[in-house]
Structure 1
Amino acid sequence: MTRRVVITGMALASPLGSTVDSAFNRLKEYKNCVRYWEELDRFDKLNTRLVATVEGFETPKHFDRKVLRSMGPISIMSVATAEEALKDAGLLENSLIQSNKTGVSYGSSSGSLNAIFDFYSMYVDNKVKNLNSASYIKMMSQTAAVNISLYFKTHGRLIPTSTACTSGSLGVGYGYEAIKDGYADIMISGGAEEIHPTQIGVFDTLYATSTLNDTPSLTPKPFDKDRDGLVIGEGAGTLILEEYEHAKTRGAKIYAEIVGFATNTDGTHITNPNKDMMREVMKDSLKSANLSSKDIGYVNAHGTGTYRGDIAESNATYETFKRNVPISTIKSYTGHTLGACGAIESILSIQMMNNNWFCPTLNLKNIDPECAPELGYIISEGKEIETQYIMNNNFAFGGINTSLIFKRV
Structure 2
Amino acid sequence: MMYRVAITGIGIVSCLGLDLDSVQKSLRLGKSGIQIVKQREDMGFFSPLSGVIDGFDYAGCGLTRRQRKTMPNFTIQAYSAVTQALKKAGLQSEDIQNARTGLIFGNDSTARAQVEQAKLTEQDGSTAGISSGYCFKAMTSTITLNLNVLLGVRGASWSISSACSSGGHAIGQAADLIAMGRQDRIICGGAQEINWESLCSFDALEAFSRRIDSPAQASRPFDANRDGLVPSGGAAAVVLERYDLAVKRGTTILGEMEAYGFSSDGQDLCRPNGSGLQAAMEDALQRANLTSEDIDLVSAHATATPVGDDAEAFAISSVFGDNNVRVTALKSMTGHELWMSGASQVVYSILQAQGGFTARTINFETPDERSTKLNMVVEENSTPPGRVMLNSAGFGGTNACLIVNTKGL
Q: Which residue of 2 aligns with 1:7?
A: 7
**Would the aligned equivalents of 1:168 and 1:342 in 2 still touch at CA under 8 Å?**
yes
Does 1:402 find its partner at 2:403? no
Equivalent pair of 1:239/1:347 in contact (CA under 8 Å) = yes
Query: Which position in structure 2 is the counterpart of 1:390?
Result: 388
Matched, 1:35 2:31: no
1:335 is matched with which residue? 335
1:12-161 mapped onto 2 (5 Å cutoff): 12-44=12-44, 46-59=45-58, 60-93=60-93, 95-111=94-110, 113-121=111-119, 124-125=122-123, 126-161=125-160
* Residue 74 to residue 378, structure 1, CA distance change in 2 (3 Å): same
Deviation at 1:341, TM superposition (A): 1.1
- Distance, in Å, in 2 between the alignment partners of 1:55 and 1:261 is 33
Q: Which range moves more in the overlay, 33-42 or 54-63?
A: 54-63
Residue 227 and residue 193 in structure 1: after superposition, are their counterparts in 2 closer, same or farther (change >3 A)? same
How much does 1:333 deviate? 0.4
Q: Which residue of the partner structure matches residue 177 of structure 2?
A: 178
Contact 1:121–1:130 under 8 Å retained in 2: no
Instruction: Name the CA shift for 1:130/1:52 in 2 (closer, same or farther; >3 Å).
Output: farther
CA contact (8 A) 1:13 1:55 kept: no
3-state DSSP of counterpart to 2:164:
helix
Aligned to 1:326: 326
Looking at structure 2, the residues matched to 350 and 62 of structure 1 have their Cα atoms a distance apart, in angstroms, of 26
Per the alignment, residue 352 of structure 1 pairs with 352
Alpha-carbon spacing, 1:61–1:372, altered in 2? closer, same or farther (3 Å):
closer
Contact 2:41 2:47 in 1 (8 A): no
| Residues 256 and 210 of structure 1: CA distance in aligned 2, closer, same or farther (over 3 Å) | same
2:374 is aligned to 375
SS at match of 1:164: coil
Contact 1:222–1:303 (CA under 8 A) maintained in structure 2: yes
Q: For residues 38 and 386 of structure 2, what CA distance do their matches in structure 1 show?
A: 44
Q: Which amino acid aligns with 1:204?
A: D
State the one-letter code of the partner of 2:342. G
Write the deviation string for residues 56-114 of structure 1: whole angstroms up to 9, x where unpaired. 43223531122111101121011121112111111133x23110000111021212x22
| Contact 1:37 1:49 survives alignment (8 Å) | yes
The CA distance in 1 between the partners of 2:22 and 2:385, in whole Å, is: 23
Bigger drift between 201-210 and 275-284 goes to: 201-210
How far is 1:291 from its partner?
Answer: 0.5
Unaligned runs of 5+ in 1: none
Give the TM-score of the pair, scaled to structure 1.
Answer: 0.95
For 1:223 and 1:293, locate their aligned partners in 2 and report how far apart those are by CA, in whole Å.
Answer: 21
- CA deviations 1:323-381 (Å, max 9, x no partner) are 22100111100111111111111111122234441112111100111x241211112x2
* Helix, strand or coil at the partner of 2:228: coil
Q: 1:158 to 1:196 in 2, by over 3 A?
A: same
Q: Secondary structure at the match of 2:202?
A: helix
Return the alpha-carbon distance in structure 2 between the equivalents of residues 387 and 303 of structure 1.
18
CA distance in 1, matches of 2:55, 2:377: 28
Secondary structure of the residue aligned to 2:155 is: coil
Separation in structure 2 between the aligned mates of residue 237 and residue 400 of structure 1, nearest angstrom: 20
Tell me, in whole angstroms, the C-alpha distance in 2 between the residues paired with 1:121 and 1:205: 21
Give the C-alpha shift of residue 222 in structure 1: 0.8
Q: Work out whether residues 5 and 243 of structure 1, in 8 Å CA contact, stay in contact via their aligned partners in 2.
A: yes
Could you tell me which amino acid in structure 2 is paired with residue 67 of structure 1? Q
Kindly state the Cα deviation for residue 269 of structure 1 after the two structures are TM-superposed.
0.9
Corresponding residue SS for 1:32: coil
Does the Cα contact within 8 Å between 2:235 and 2:340 map onto a contact in 1?
yes
- Residues 170-222 of structure 1 deviation map (CA, whole Å, 9 limit, x = unaligned): 11111101111111101000001121113332222222100011211211111
SS of corresponding position for 1:327: strand
* Secondary structure of 2:372's aligned partner: coil
In structure 2, relative to structure 1, the CA distance for the partners of 1:129 and 1:194 (3 Å cut) is same
